Each structure stands twice: as C-alpha cells, then as structure tokens.
Amino acid sequence: MNQEQFEEICFQIITFAGEARSSFVEALRHAKDADKSKARELLAEGSRHLIQAEKVHMQLIQQEAAGETVQVKMILTHAEDLMMSADTIHVLCEELISLL
C-alpha cells in the first residue's frame, strides 16, 4: 500500500466515524426533546456509519496480519481515536435512549 492509499483509508475512517459521532449526538438531542422515534432513527444511522468506519479500519488490520507493515502516523492515530470515541458515544446513547 502506498502513502496515498494509506491516507485515503485514514480519511475514510475519519469521515465515517465523524458522521457516526454527529448522528449519535443529534440522537441525544432528540431524545432530550422526547422525540424517541427520531432519536432511534439517528442512532441506527450512526451505527451504519460506524460499521463503515470499522470495515475500512479492518483493511489495515488485515494488511498487518498478512505481514505487511502498517505505518503508525498521526493521521491514523486521529482516525482511530475518532472511531473509538464514536463507539463510546454509541454505547452511551443506546443506554440513555433506552431509559426513555
């Protein structure tokens, strides 16, 4: 994998994880306004984005498992951090929305 392909994967993770996080935060706002239906819709949308981020991330894991070197650069660290924070927010959103 060349540098351009590596960066493309990182930007895809950032995009999908960012979209997921935004959907989850908006879901919480709708839950706060007692719009449980819209909150669940946004939760599902965010989940789809998060799954896409995880699928793209899996490409790097598979590459490393195949014995290829995966560079650890700031852009990858940022992408993984964003993906993990989106995952954490997802879990919290599900729990909070289920309390309604």
Residue 30 bears catalytic tag: no
Can you tell me whether residue 2 is helix, strand or coil?
coil
Could you give the CA distance from residue 35 to residue 99 in angstroms, rounded to a whole number?
13
Catalytic residue among 30, 49, 57, 78: 78
Distances (CA, A) of 36 to 42, 72, 97: 10, 40, 7
Catalytic positions, written as ranges: 78
